[in-house]
Amino acid sequence: MTTALPVPTLVQGPTGLMLEGVALSEIAARHGTPTYVYSRAALTAAFEAYQTALAGRKSLVCYAVKANSSLGILSVFARLGAGFDIVSGGELARVLAAGGEAHKVVFSGVGKSREEMRYALEAGIGCFNVESAAELDRLNEVAGSLGKPAPIAFRVNPDVDPKTHPYISTGLRSNKFGVAFTEALALYRKAATLPHIEISGIDCHIGSQLLDPAPMAEAAAKILGLVDQLASEGIRLDHIDLGGGLGIRYRDEEPPSASTYLAPLLECFAGREETLCFEPGRSLVGNAGLLLTRIEYLKPGVEKNFAIIDAAMNDLARPALYDAYHEIVAVAPKAVEARSYEVVGPICESGDFLGHDRELAVEEGDLLAILSAGAYGMTMSSNYNTRTRAAEVLVDGAVMHVIRERETLEHLLKGETPLP
Ligand code: LLP
C-alpha cells in the first residue's frame, strides 16, 4: 500500500498511517483537526534531489515561497542552504524571520510596489526579476532615492507551451507575466544605461505542474540564444534563472525526477560560467505534506453518499478552484463495507468538495488524510465562512513540532470594529 501513496514518508503502522515515526491518530488526538502535517525527511529529500542533480555546477535553488510560506517549512530550507523566490514584501519578511539569507533571495511578480522595492533593497536581496519597462523605471528611481543599486534580471517570456492547466501556465505570449522575448534585448540595452540598475541575470518561468521536460528545454535554448546575443553587445550576465514548474504525482501522473528534468538543461548549459538558478515550489513541498481531517457525518443519499469532513475549500482550495485531484485515504480503514463517497466540507457552496466518488471504508469520527497537500494548500487557505485556519505540524522522525497553532476566534475578529 505504501508504495502506491504519493507521500513518500507515509507508512502503515500498527494503529494506522504514520508520517515518519509519528502516528497520524496521535497528531489528531493532540492537536485536533483539520491539521496540515509535513515530513521533514520528505522536504529534505526533495531539496537534496535538486542539489545532487546540480552537483558540480555553480547553482542556487530558490524555493518558491508561495507554495508554502510557513516559517517552519522555510526554516528547513534555510538550514539546507536554499535561496528563496518571493513575490511580496510579506514573503520577504517570512524568509528573514525563518533565517533565510537576503542575498539568496530573488523577487518575482508583476506588481511590485515602491514600498516593497525599498524593503527588498534595504534588506539586500540578490535580484529583482523585473517584469515590465515601467517596473524597471520605478526600480531605478527607488534605488536612486536610497543610494543603493538594484540588481536585476528580466523575466523573459519565451512563448513556449508548457502543456499544463491553463490557469497555471505562465510562459505564453498571452500571459500577463514577463517581458516579451522580442522586447528583451531593447530592455537590457536600456537597463545598461540606467544609473541605479545593475544587470545581474535573466529569468524565465513557463508554468507549473510540468510533467514533460521538453518545453523547459525549449525555453532554456531560447534564453541561451538571448544570453549570447547580450554578451556580444558587452552585456554579461552572472546568472540564468529557469524558474520552477516541475510537477508531482497527485494520482497517476509520472513526473520526471529532478535529475531527469534537469539533465537536458544541464547539457544545454554545459561549460558555461553563469550560476544556474531554479525556483521550484510544488516539487519541494507538495508530496511532503497532507491535510489530516476527521469525518463529522456520513450522509447516505439517494444518488450519492456524502462524507462531511471538518476540512473544507477554505483549507484546501485546489479541488474547488482547479478541479484538482488529491488522493484521500482512511488513516485506519474499518472492517466495514467500503462505499463511494463525495468527500465534502461544511462550507455553504456546492463547490466545497475535496474529492468525488472516493471508495472509503469508514465510519463517522474516522480520520482521513488528504494527500499531496503540502504545496498551495495552507498558503491558499482563507477564513471563508468565518472558519479558523488549520494548525500545522512538522514531523521530524519521532518528534512533532507545532509550526502553526490553530487560529482562534480572537484571530478571526482581530483588527475589526463594529460601527460605534
Ligand atoms: N517561480 C515563479 C515566478 C512562479 O510564478 C511560480 C509559481 C514558481 C516559481 C513555482 O512554481 P512550481 O515549482 O510550484 O510549479 N496555485 C497553483 C499553482 C500556481 C503557481 C504559480 N507560480 C496550484 O495550486 O496548482
Do 255 and 119 share a domain, yes or no? yes
Q: What is the reported pLDDT for 160?
A: 87
The answer on 298 and 217 residing in a single domain is no
**pLDDT tens string 354-371:** 999 999 999 999 999 999
Q: Spell out the residues 6+ positions from residue 109 whose beta carbon is closer than 8 angstroms to its own.
A: 87, 88, 129, 131
pLDDT of 165: 60
Indicate if ligand 1 lies below 6 Å from the C-beta of 210.
no
For ligand 1, is residue 326 a contact (CB within 6 Å)? no
Statement: the pTM of the whole predicted model exceeds 0.85? yes
Check pocket membership of 247 for ligand 1, CB cut-off 6 A: no
Query: Measured in angstroms, how far is the CA atom of residue 175 from the centroid of ligand 1?
Result: 14
**Residues 230 and 296 both lie in one domain:** no
Retrieve residue 117's grid coordinates: 522595492
Q: Are residues 242 and 122 in the same domain?
A: yes
Are residues 260 and 136 located together in one domain of the fold?
A: yes
* 120 and 33 in a common domain: no
Those residues whose C-beta lies under 8 Å from the C-beta of residue 211, and which sit 6 or more positions away, are 163, 164, 247, 253, 254, 255, 256
CB-neighbour burial class of residue 299 (10 A; exposed 0-12, middle 13-18, buried 19+): middle
Q: Under a CB-based contact definition with an 8 Å cutoff, are residues 312 and 387 in contact?
A: yes
220, 250, 280: which is the final residue of a domain? 280
Q: What is the pLDDT of residue 161?
A: 78
Q: Which of 73, 279, 283, 284 for mutating ligand 1's site (highest number of atoms within 8 Å of CB)? A: 279
Q: Same structural domain for residues 382 and 261?
A: no
CA of 204 to the centre of ligand 1 (A): 12
The burial class, CB within 10 Å (0-12 / 13-18 / 19+), for 276 is: buried
Asked if residue 67 has its Cβ within 6 Å of ligand 1, the reply is yes
Block means of pLDDT (10 residues each) for the chain, 420 residues, are 72 96 98 98 98 96 98 98 98 98 98 98 98 98 98 94 63 76 97 98 95 93 96 97 97 96 93 96 98 98 96 98 98 95 97 98 98 98 98 98 98 97
**What's 205's DSSP letter?**
-
List the residue whose alpha carbon is closest to atom 9 of ligand 1: 244
Position 162 scores a pLDDT of 76
Which H/E stretch holds residue 64?
strand 59-64
Residues annotated as catalytic are 348
> Within this chain, do residues 241 and 355 fall inside the same structural domain, yes or no?
no
Cβ of 171 below 6 Å from ligand 1: no
The 3-class SS string of 317-384 reads CHHHHHCCCCCEEECCCCCCCCEEEEEECCCCCCCCEEEEEEEECCCCCCEEEECCCCCCCHHHCCCC
Out of 280, 304, 329, a domain closes at: 280
Q: Which domain holds residue 127?
A: 108-280
What's the domain count of the chain? Answer: 2
Q: Is the CB of 404 under 6 A from ligand 1?
A: no
> Which ligand 1 atom sits nearest the alpha carbon of residue 67?
14
CA–CA distance, 290 with 376 (Å, rounded to integer): 11
> Is residue 25 in some structural domain?
yes
| 83 inside domain | no
- Cα–ligand 1 centroid distance for 75 (angstroms): 20
C-alpha dihedral sign at 213, 92, 132, 177: positive
Q: Are residues 199 and 324 in the same domain?
A: no
Is 68 part of any domain? no
Nearest-atom index, ligand 1, CA of 165: 25
pLDDT of residue 3: 44
